[in-house]
Amino acid sequence: MTGIDDLPIREELRGKSPYGAPQLDVPVRLNTNENPYPLPEALVARIAERVTEAARDLNRYPDRDAVELRTELARYLTRTAGHEVGVANVWAANGSNEVLQQLLQTFGGPGRTAIGFEPSYSMHALISRGTGTGWISGPRNADFTIDVDAARAAIAEHRPHVVFITSPNNPTGTAVEADTVLALYEAAQAAGPSIVVVDEAYGEFSHRPSLLPLIENRPQLILSRTMSKAFGAAGLRLGYLAAHPAVVDAVQLVRLPYHLSAVTQATALAALEHTDTLLGYVEALKAERDRLVSELRSIGCEVTDSDANFVQFGRFEDAHAAWQSLLDRGVLVRDNGVPGWLRVTAGTPTENDAFLDAVRDLMKEKS
Ligand code: PMP
């Protein structure tokens, strides 16, 4: 039987595993930071209308520059993220993973490096590898905040071409102070110059304002966002960035022609028409997230402060065994491989109650 290793794949891919959160069919699935609320029926109907319209033109390639969609995304950011941006500042792709890949294709690549402060979103390292970009694992404090002095020192030492800052961070939920971003941006400019990517996939769930205003007068600072979480549209695959227009011009050097299908553009535009309803769900999820934090603490768990739609909790002597015990009780959470810790996504109140009951059982067993 021919296996991967019999093929002439790139050396750095040998022996590696693909990204894979388990997709298991259990009653309570709180493992991939999805939004638990299905899209409202009025939006589903509007998507059908807009997709029908788009279907009449499917013999043609879509708008290659996605101008209408980027205009609406810019309006959304201007309205909600505290800083005015226009279509020239915004670029969109199939999920923020593709945005990040395009950034690494543009600013990383063979002979270049990227740094992230771990534990953080594992795809930053994986997309680096996939684009031939060397990966540097930077440090964090014990409380999962970024250790600014150590991060500065790592940037000065390695002179990476791309610096990832995830705020709120996945899997810890930790938000990053604007001052920290500015300190790392300065360090990156002094060492590089290099670009700094602020991955704000969970930005809408934060207690704090967006870091978007920091892009002003900083052409090498890029903010990445997604419709997968706050818009409850993980299945849509729509991510976007906001940055200086020169960055938007630069990523076009690597994007595939017509990368965003007409169906995707039509669906995303329909969702943006329903922003207010969807942001209402975000408020409900933020309240549930805060409830998870306080109830987990009252049960006796250690919990990392969270600004995201998920919560990191522990600590377990054997986090994987705890993960399995919760699964045995019908609740799927995430073991991100952070020793002692697990991560739970805020679900509906009923799902969260089921999760909290399962943790109570588990803690009883432990004591
Ligand atoms: N960034 C972070 C920090 C994430 O956690 C995720 C998804 N889990 C993404 C980016 C990618 O999301 P998407 O491709 O669905 O936009």
Q: For atom 2 of ligand 1, which residue has the closest CA?
A: 201
Ligand 1 nearest atom to the CA of residue 100, by list position? 10
Q: Calculate how far, in angstroms, residue 201's C-alpha sits from the geometric centre of ligand 1.
A: 6
pTM over 0.80: yes
Q: Is residue 359 part of a domain?
A: yes
Q: How far apart are CA 335 and CA 36, in angstroms?
A: 19
Question: 218, 247, 274: which is the final residue of a domain?
Answer: 274
User: Structurally, how many domains does the chain consist of?
Assistant: 2
Range of the domain at 93: 53-274
Are 258 and 362 in the same domain?
no
Are 246 and 127 in the same domain?
yes
Q: For atom 6 of ligand 1, which residue has the closest CA?
A: 201
Tokens of 31: 């493992």
Residue 337: other Cβ atoms inside 10 A: 11
Q: Calculate how far, in angstroms, residue 323's C-alpha sits from the geometric centre of ligand 1.
A: 22
Asked if ipTM goes beyond 0.95, one says yes
Q: How far apart are CA 128 and CA 233, in angstroms?
A: 25
Instruction: Give, for all 367 residues of the chain, the pLDDT tens digit.
Output: 898 989 999 988 888 888 777 778 899 999 999 999 999 999 999 999 999 999 999 999 999 999 999 999 999 999 999 999 999 999 999 999 999 999 999 999 999 999 999 999 999 999 999 999 999 999 999 999 999 999 999 999 999 999 999 999 999 999 999 999 999 999 999 998 899 999 999 999 999 999 999 999 999 999 999 999 999 999 999 999 999 999 999 999 999 999 999 999 999 999 999 999 999 999 999 999 999 999 999 999 999 999 999 999 999 999 999 999 999 999 999 999 999 999 999 999 999 999 999 999 999 887 6
Count how many Cα atoms sit within 13 Å of the Cα of residue 318 in the half-sphere of its side chain: 8
Closest CA to 225 of 195, 201, 198, 197: 201
Q: Which of 31, 33, 96, when mutated, tests ligand 1's pocket best, judged by the most ligand atoms within 8 Å of its CB?
A: 96
Q: Calculate how far, in angstroms, residue 240's C-alpha sits from the geometric centre of ligand 1.
A: 11
Are 85 and 100 in the same domain?
yes
Predicted pLDDT at 19: 77
Q: How far apart are CA 322 and CA 301, in angstroms?
A: 12
Are 239 and 283 in the same domain?
no
Q: Calculate how far, in angstroms, residue 32's C-alpha sits from the geometric centre of ligand 1.
A: 10
Q: Is residue 45 part of a domain?
A: no
Q: Is residue 230 part of a domain?
A: yes
Q: Is residue 93 part of a domain?
A: yes
Question: 223, 255, 274: which is the final residue of a domain?
Answer: 274
Kindly list the protein residues whose Cβ atom lies closer than 6 A to any atom of ligand 1: 33, 95-97, 121, 166, 170, 199, 201, 226, 228, 234, 239
Predicted pLDDT at 341: 98
Are 205 and 217 in the same domain?
yes
Question: 274, 299, 322: which is the final residue of a domain?
Answer: 274
Alpha helices in the chain (DSSP H): 41-55, 67-80, 95-107, 122-130, 148-158, 178-191, 245-251, 262-273, 275-299, 319-328, 349-366
Are 194 and 322 in the same domain?
no
Predicted pLDDT at 365: 82
Q: Calculate how far, in angstroms, residue 58's C-alpha sits from the geometric centre of ligand 1.
A: 29
Q: Is residue 181 part of a domain?
A: yes
Q: How far apart are CA 313 and CA 346, in angstroms?
A: 12
Predicted pLDDT at 12: 84
Q: Is residue 240 part of a domain?
A: yes
Ligand 1 nearest atom to the CA of residue 98, by list position? 14
